[in-house]
Structure 1
Amino acid sequence: MESAVASTTSREELIKENQRLQEALATKEVALTEKEKELVEKQEALAEKEVELQKARHTIHVLQQLLYGPRSERFPKDEPKEQGKLFNEAELTAQNEVQKAPEPAPKEPAITPQHRKKAPGSGRRRIRGNIERIEVFHELDEAARACPWCAKERPVIGEERSEEVEIIPAKVVVKVHVRRKYGPCSCDDFIGHDEPAIVTAPAPAKIAKGSQYANSTAAFIIVSKYVDGLPLYRQEGALQRLGLELGRGTMARMILRVSEELEPLWKRMKEDLRSSPVLGMDETVTQVLHEPERPATSQSRMWVARGFKVGPGSTDPPRPIIWFEYADSRSGDVAASIIGNFSGYLQTDGYSGYSRLGRRPEIIHVGCWAHIRREFYRLVSEQGPTCTAAEMVRLIRRLYQIEKDLRARLAAGELSREVFVEERKAATTPVFEEIRSWLNHWETKVPPHSPLGSAIAYALGQYRRAIRYVDHWLLTPDNNPVENAIRPFVIGRKNWLFHDSVHGAKASGRLYSLIETTKANGHEPYRYLCHLFTEYARASDKTAAIDTLLPYTLAPGSY
């Protein structure tokens, strides 16, 4: 009986112990689950921190490159230093054998002149032939020319010529225009008719009527500021050294007057810009001190559009038109107001302000491969040519090589414009497919917020637009021509820093439009402006004058 009781007690204790152990195990499993959950959370947090660290390192690298690095985005050589030796193993082996062989007894070295090989394009350059040349004759005195024995003059057997460049500083002159006045004739016939009693020779035509400064002076001031980047206060000092007291306020008013006088020309340029089959657009920061209801530190924008005046013939060269326009914001409404009723291909970067324009049915929005490439190139410059992003840079480089080869054939007349478009499409399609496949492959393998993930996301977002450049022969893989057109403004901004008023900023935009279009069409800016100001002021029909004086309708050598 006692044995049965003991057995029952032992069994109950075992059951209780089993329950206790199961409860302890369940508690341990819950604790383990919590620990595993904490571990996963910490791993996720660590991964996020790693991504943030990558982004911070990438940002620091980009800023350092902007401050201290080269501006070019040239792809680094991706061959290891030893790889080139694989192709000349025999030569290197022979060279090593020669180095291992015992050296012969030294001989007396032969003395030979050392000629350093000149680099291509180095050395003294021929001075351009269109520069005025003045011959200065140098002669021996009579005693040096005479024979010391018979005193006869020695015969001339030739001459030696050498050139030197002399820069003659600018000088200021005052032209006194004397206009003859003629009174009435004393004959009876003159008195009986309605002829004017007094006639005077016409005054010189001036773009700024009533000004005491010549057209060439206005052109000089405008070119100095908008081509050479010289602020008006520096020009004021330079003119003072030449003896002319011309204040910066007077120069500013002169620039504004020229801008106002050429109002019909600005309208025609904008109309021709909107009729271009393709447009490129971009914008940059500028500052206006005295802007209504805005602090002086506010950022405004100078917008730039680049198009073409295309002739009716299939072989007529397109003439570039570059348009600058000031606005107080970066809103897409500004871009819409600039292009107006434009229909065709619009090439821009990935800024969202252009997206609404791309949704218009008459506009085909084209992207920019340079902006796509830039994000990957920054990773290559940071991590080296063997990193993952380097493959994308190589693929994009193939697009540019195709463009270069086909453009050379188009320029040489080997391809028509239609055939150029067809061959470019055929050559780039396989590369586009490789790029899309690469992006899709790596999109799921890298953290989306890492530098590489961000570059891939941007490329995928721009891909459909970026491949559209192959549809028109005037389009190129990138929007760099527009960015290059902005560069003179950016360089000038480093000198004059800001605009004083909205009126001045608008005038600057118009004059930059004229200057950059002039340069793009092969004109020398100062010479062109002198011609434009004189002929436009002289013309009685301004509309007809504009047709022949625009920089993209006037041949550079015709005036």
Structure 2
Amino acid sequence: MNSLPETLPDETNALQKMVLDYQSTVDQLQEKLTWYEEQFRLFQHQRFGASSEKCPDQMELFNEAESILDALKQEETDLEETVSYQRKKPGRKPLSRHLPREVVRYELPEAERVCDCGHALHEAGEDTSEQLEIIPAQIKLIEHVQVKYACRACENGIINAPKPAQPIPRSFASASLLAYIIVAKFMDSLPLYRQETIFKRLSIDLSRATLSIWVLKSAELLAPFYDRLHELLILQKILQADETTLNVIQDGRETKSKSYMWLYQSGGHEAECPIVLYEYQATRAGAHAASFLQGFSGHLQVDGYAGYHALASDDCLLVGCMAHARRKFDEALKALPKASRKNKMGMAQTALRKFTRLYAFEKQFKDLTIEQRYLLRQEKCKPLLDDLKQWCDDHVTRTAKDSTIGKAIRYTLNQWSSLIRYIDDGNIHIDNNAAERRIKPFVIGRKNWLFNQTPRGANASALLYSLVQTAVANNLEPFDYLKYLLTELPKLGRHYEPEALDQFLPWNLIEKVKPLK
């Protein structure tokens, strides 16, 4: 009887501890279940939903952005340069006036120009309509005839009239044909095997092996020019970088590991000399970026990939991408159940509104000068950034570390020092989207040609993508630009100074190469 009171507290404590352990296990399982449900909804949206981040549930956010723009217009009327905003009107865009035009006039025969009343009809106006007509590609054969000269008196030998240096010696590929093949693959994403069938329809027998050799030899000819662009890129003060995967079959590695295509480009709002360069590397190690950008001093805008941290120094300041931070919250919104998405006061919706305000200001500042953009960012954007930081600090402890909203908040806080660096320079973009747009042509092409056979081919692809996209960045027609390079570069011979290539830089050829329409 006396032992009962002594054992009861021990049993109660044991039961309480067991209940707490079970409750902890239940909480952990509930968090894991919530995580799996979020991932399922997110993967389901990625598989079947719209790829755009502008989902219908966020219409209020974009309506709010419109109201902010209207308010900003009213506030900034004292600026010397004001930004006009006009809503796009629906309708078909007019056809280009630069196209060759053939006028076909339809008139009534003389015998029918009589009214029923017997009087002659007169012209009372015209109805005009336009129609596009296409002329298929045409191929012609250029026969080079070098006249030979000799002296009958001394018979000292035969002299041949010189022929201009060709891009590929002893080949029937002209500069225009090579430029056509390169642009078709590296801009229009047309694989060489498809080009082979197209040439067959034109009665030209060109195997993909021949086309591949021509592409490689063209890249070898253009390699010094790529190196010169690299030297000039390092001298700029604002750059952007990004990377994407690439499959190289024969890269010497036993395992089928992914390779990477890196992108580096001019990154300022007002880049006088836009340059876009791709580089192939077997891995995603940050040492590759550090090696490519060796000697660079300025701001480098990148996403949150930790590999770029190897470049961070007093000379190289990393700038974050606000679009990547916003994307995390957009994913958190898409991972919610449909009923929760309609909640206007949810954490993901609240965070997205804060990002929308920042982007509304950037849209308003788009056409301002660097100094005006800097001053207005300090006045308008800095308070919004402080508010976003405070909101993340307040909610970081209220969210699970592995939940989508928790990851979004922690990503933003971890990247905060680099995310807000853009407001310190009016020439820096708010995000890295420009680099993502430049790498998109490669991603689209990868879906068609799937892989590179060798590292040599991957390096050639990087070089030719670079020249095509650099031409586009400078508003030059890539075909005309490459044709000009492949025609003029062989004339320099084998030995020349790098500065001799400056005459072929895209910004120096505005009057010689057709602009991109």
TM-score interval, smaller chain: 0.7 to 0.9
Among 248, 253, 258, the residue aligned to 1:299: 258
Q: Quick check: 1:277–1:345 contact (8 Å CA) kept in 2? A: yes
Partner of 1:431: 384
Query: Is residue 479 of structure 1 aligned with residue 432 of structure 2?
Result: yes
- Give secondary structure in 1 for the equivalent of 2:368: helix
Offset at residue 121 of structure 1 (A): 2.9
Q: Which has the higher contact order (CA 8 A, sep 6+)?
A: 2
CA displacement 1:239-275 (0-9 Å, x = unmatched)? 1011110111111111111111112101111111111
Offset at residue 277 of structure 1 (A): 0.4
Q: 1:52 to 1:177 in 2, by over 3 A?
A: same
Measure, in 2, the Cα distance between the counterparts of 1:477 and 1:148.
71
Q: 1:332 to 1:436 in 2, by over 3 A?
A: same
- Give secondary structure in 2 for the equivalent of 1:523: coil
CA RMSD of aligned residues (A): 3.0
Query: Is residue 281 of structure 1 aligned with residue 281 of structure 2?
Result: no
Query: Is residue 321 of structure 1 aligned with residue 282 of structure 2?
Result: no
Offset at residue 199 of structure 1 (A): 4.5
Measure, in 2, the Cα distance between the counterparts of 1:277 and 1:520.
18
Q: Name whichever of 243-252 and 400-409 sits farther off.
A: 400-409
- Give secondary structure in 2 for the equivalent of 1:210: coil
Q: Quick check: 1:78–1:386 contact (8 Å CA) kept in 2? A: no
Partner of 1:354: 308
Measure, in 2, the Cα distance between the counterparts of 1:158 and 1:182.
66
Q: Quick check: 1:344–1:363 contact (8 Å CA) kept in 2? A: yes
Q: Quick check: 1:326–1:506 contact (8 Å CA) kept in 2? A: yes
Q: 1:144 to 1:24 in 2, by over 3 A?
A: same
Query: Is residue 236 of structure 1 aligned with residue 196 of structure 2?
Result: yes
- Give secondary structure in 1 for the equivalent of 2:171: coil
Q: Percent identity of the aligned residues?
A: 33
CA displacement 1:463-501 (0-9 Å, x = unmatched)? 111111112233112111111111000000000000011
Q: Quick check: 2:374–2:423 contact (8 Å CA) kept in 1? A: yes
- Give secondary structure in 2 for the equivalent of 1:320: coil
Measure, in 1, the Cα distance between the counterparts of 2:106 and 2:159.
56
Q: Quick check: 2:235–2:296 contact (8 Å CA) kept in 1? A: yes
Q: Quick check: 2:259–2:284 contact (8 Å CA) kept in 1? A: yes
Partner of 2:29: 49
Measure, in 2, the Cα distance between the counterparts of 1:375 and 1:210.
55
Measure, in 1, the Cα distance between the counterparts of 2:215 and 2:209.
10
Among 506, 509, 515, the residue aligned to 1:551: 506
Q: Quick check: 1:61–1:382 contact (8 Å CA) kept in 2? A: yes
- Give secondary structure in 1 for the equivalent of 2:184: helix
| Paired residue type of 2:134 | I
Q: Quick check: 2:179–2:479 contact (8 Å CA) kept in 1? A: yes
Measure, in 1, the Cα distance between the counterparts of 2:367 and 2:111.
64
Q: Quick check: 2:372–2:426 contact (8 Å CA) kept in 1? A: no
Query: Is residue 406 of structure 1 aligned with residue 373 of structure 2?
Result: no
TM-score between both structures, scaled by the size of structure 1: 0.79
Query: Is residue 218 of structure 1 aligned with residue 178 of structure 2?
Result: yes
Question: Which ranges of structure 1 fall in alignment gaps of 5 or more residues?
Answer: 1-16, 85-118, 311-315, 411-416
Query: Is residue 500 of structure 1 aligned with residue 453 of structure 2?
Result: yes
Among 455, 464, 474, the residue aligned to 2:417: 464
Among 53, 57, 61, the residue aligned to 1:73: 53
CA displacement 1:364-387 (0-9 Å, x = unmatched)? 111111111111111223331432
Q: Name whichever of 227-236 and 170-179 sits farther off.
A: 170-179
Question: Which ranges of structure 2 fall in alignment gaps of 5 or more residues?
Answer: 65-87
- Give secondary structure in 2 for the equivalent of 1:518: helix
Measure, in 1, the Cα distance between the counterparts of 2:272 and 2:478.
20
Query: Is residue 29 of structure 1 aligned with residue 16 of structure 2?
Result: no
Structure with higher Rg: it is: 1
Partner of 2:408: 455
Measure, in 1, the Cα distance between the counterparts of 2:126 and 2:384.
63
| Paired residue type of 1:380 | L
Among 304, 313, 316, the residue aligned to 1:363: 316
Q: Quick check: 2:481–2:513 contact (8 Å CA) kept in 1? A: no
Q: Name whichever of 23-32 and 279-288 sits farther off.
A: 23-32
TM-score between both structures, scaled by the size of structure 2: 0.85
Q: 1:238 to 1:36 in 2, by over 3 A?
A: same
Query: In the TM superposition, what are the counterparts of 1:246-265 in structure 2 within 5 Å?
Result: 246-265=206-225
Query: Is residue 62 of structure 1 aligned with residue 42 of structure 2?
Result: yes
Q: 1:516 to 1:264 in 2, by over 3 A?
A: same
- Give secondary structure in 2 for the equivalent of 1:284: strand
Query: In the TM superposition, what are the counterparts of 1:506-521 in structure 2 within 5 Å?
Result: 506-521=459-474
Measure, in 1, the Cα distance between the counterparts of 2:108 and 2:405.
76
Offset at residue 461 of structure 1 (A): 0.6
Q: 1:284 to 1:429 in 2, by over 3 A?
A: same
Among 80, 84, 102, the residue aligned to 1:134: 102
Q: 1:227 to 1:32 in 2, by over 3 A?
A: same
Offset at residue 145 of structure 1 (A): 7.4
Q: 1:164 to 1:389 in 2, by over 3 A?
A: closer
Q: 1:34 to 1:345 in 2, by over 3 A?
A: same
